[in-house]
Structure 1
């Protein structure tokens, strides 16, 4: 006899649940090429050596046109140029040049960034397990510190060899700042850190706006410098013709102009925001007036405006500077919604940080091309603080509030 089966439909149940995420040990793609301390400390030392060899190569091109100069003298000059890019002093006869070529400084910082990223990756690949926050912080700070130590050691050795013990501290301090800043950027990029969780929210927005505002200020300064170069092209051409450069001279002069391009942009930014700049004792180049005396036959000085009281319409250039500040405010409020106080705080932070970057930029672009009248060239710092920074903060805050108001109206509509 057939026995019936009772089938319970609730007997078997199939459910779907989310899978647990299990962190597997980190297995590097390849073993480290070098031990971490050697990659960081030795990399910093080699970065300084590579920069000095780069400068020496350019100087050798110029030396081929002046073989009467002894080779040791040319190499000493190249070493002094490298030290000048880190805040040292370049001695030409009895004159002392202190105007730092910021283009070279930025290039050396980029080399340190590459070395810092490489050093961090070597340290990370040597640890095939998931590292905790403490070990990660050790890798970050250790890479920056060792790269900076090696690079600064190179500066100390070079300064000691060229100028003696009395002229060490300035290039050593400059090398420390350049290598620490550059290697920090490289290490952060290699580690994948991003300021997405930075609190409070308005500070994170402000830093984002400051980055945009600083780039906007650089673009505005480039527009001013390009306009001045086009208008002064006949004078610049006449000065270059008078110097009678050969092919090697044209090459070296072009690189020299690129090396001092960030300085010239800093002067243009100071002029744009009303502070103005000087090209020697008793001179002034600003939106309202231009006063010049005797100047050396440097072709770039041909881009300076004519002497005399400027046309009142020249003040319209201030609008370009305020527009750069407005970029900071708009970028600070962009993204997710925020309240009026949040927009005000973000815009103020963006303008303030942009102002600090502007002051640092203009201050580092100052220096001298000798003694007496040309001992001080560059932006006027007191005017930059009292005129430029308030304009940047005001423009950023105004743009931030306008952006918030427009977005609020569009959302409500």
Structure 2
């Protein structure tokens, strides 16, 4: 890039600065910014950060992982970055101790990605958990963590789509800023490719913008769904793609409802599908089944709490590392308000998840309540018919007894009359 810019724009041979610039960018990708006069750059290019972590993980998989490999690799990594810190021709913002701490964190994350899946220690801990923690609890922990990461991924995809829309919608402004800077075609292309290193930062800011919190470029400009102006910004081509306000009310409402709708749909899928909690009411006939189903609602509630915690913590971390500075005064703080943005992401996620949980709970009560009411109605109706038949039997029995008693009385009266007539006739028998 420096060679092409030198050839097209003239002036000094900028390619001589390629090695110091590379060293400074390696340190910047690990969170250690630099300054040169009035220029201060502390916005970490997250795409380069992910590339460095992927490099460390790839080396770990290639050469194997062990405690000795971890120690020697970390030592070499720290010495390399300390050499870069003393070789750059710009002033570093962080002290050497803080710089080494940040680079150590990056190396440990990459090494852990390579080592953890193959670690015997992790397998032993997994077996221990399988023996001491019940299957439903383990399933709840896994579903809650995976669901939280999946929701966060969906939000980042929505942010990436918003960035693509910004680029397409504002390409005229980007081209105009390039023309004002006097760059030729080759310089424009390579500068654009270099700016892609900060593309994940823009995606994270777009998530905050989509959900209502917005972001700011220092004290010079702020961007949200309701406002967007960048007239006071420096003439950097990257600033030409920043969004304007959304004028249509229903579009703003739709964008604000994205985390609520996505989390609600995800919660319903987790509760109904076979790989989730698989709630089924059909075939539950008695009160014991109703109690068993009701107790099962504790597991998705726990999973949703874990998901909300994962989304909130990861979103807060992403918002924090995406921020930085471009200067010392008006551009000293570029990015999002971490607390406000995390709240705009976490609250609708929690509302959506627990709305799906509450809906399923209401459906359960309606289902078993209807079955109980129908069963009580049938029992009451059958009890009334039984009581009517018993009363009819008693009445018929009483009539029969009356008839039998009257017949017996008549027979007794006939026998008495016959004995009287026989004794009073005056006939003497031989």
Does the pair score TM above 0.5? yes
Residue of structure 2 in register with 1:106 after alignment: 50
Residue of structure 2 in register with 1:260 after alignment: 198
Q: What displacement does 1:406 show?
A: 8.1
Assess, with a 3 A threshold, how the Cα gap between structure 1 residues 84 and 404 changes in structure 2: closer, same or farther.
Answer: farther
State which of 99, 115, 126 in structure 2 corresponds to 1:171: 99
Assess, with a 3 A threshold, how the Cα gap between structure 1 residues 263 and 185 changes in structure 2: closer, same or farther.
Answer: same
| Cα deviation 1:184-226 (Å, max 9, x = unaligned) | 1122345596879675422221111122112111111112212
Q: What displacement does 1:252 show?
A: 2.3
State which of 157, 170, 183 in structure 2 corresponds to 1:245: 183
1:337 aligns with 2:277: yes
Q: How much is the aligned-residue C-alpha RMSD, in angstroms?
A: 3.5
Q: What displacement does 1:267 show?
A: 0.5
Secondary structure, aligned partner of 1:154: helix
Secondary structure, aligned partner of 1:372: coil
**Structure 1 gap segments, 5+ residues each:** 1-57, 124-138
Q: 1:300, 1:406 → 2: CA distance?
A: 51
Q: 1:68, 1:306 → 2: CA distance?
A: 38
State which of 20, 39, 50 in structure 2 corresponds to 1:76: 20
Q: Is residue 148–residue 310 contact of structure 2 (8 Å, CA) maintained in 1?
A: yes
Residue of structure 1 in register with 2:243 after alignment: 305
Assess, with a 3 A threshold, how the Cα gap between structure 1 residues 374 and 293 changes in structure 2: closer, same or farther.
Answer: farther
Residue of structure 1 in register with 2:322 after alignment: 365
Q: 1:72, 1:83 → 2: CA distance?
A: 19
Residue of structure 1 in register with 2:29 after alignment: 85
| Number of aligned positions between the proteins | 337
Secondary structure, aligned partner of 1:260: helix
Q: Return the TM-score normalized by structure 1.
A: 0.70
1:356 aligns with 2:313: yes
Assess, with a 3 A threshold, how the Cα gap between structure 1 residues 343 and 87 changes in structure 2: closer, same or farther.
Answer: same
Q: What displacement does 1:236 show?
A: 2.0
Q: What displacement does 1:345 show?
A: 1.0
Q: What displacement does 1:306 show?
A: 3.2
Q: 2:104, 2:311 → 1: CA distance?
A: 24
Residue of structure 2 in register with 1:287 after alignment: 225
Q: Is residue 209–residue 331 contact of structure 1 (8 Å, CA) maintained in 2?
A: no
Q: Which has the larger radius of gyration?
A: 2
Q: Decide which structure has greater helix share.
A: 2
Q: Is residue 29–residue 46 contact of structure 2 (8 Å, CA) maintained in 1?
A: yes
Secondary structure, aligned partner of 2:228: strand
Q: What displacement does 1:247 show?
A: 4.6
State which of 350, 361, 366 in structure 2 corresponds to 1:393: 350
**Structure 2 gap segments, 5+ residues each:** 279-295, 372-430
Secondary structure, aligned partner of 1:96: strand
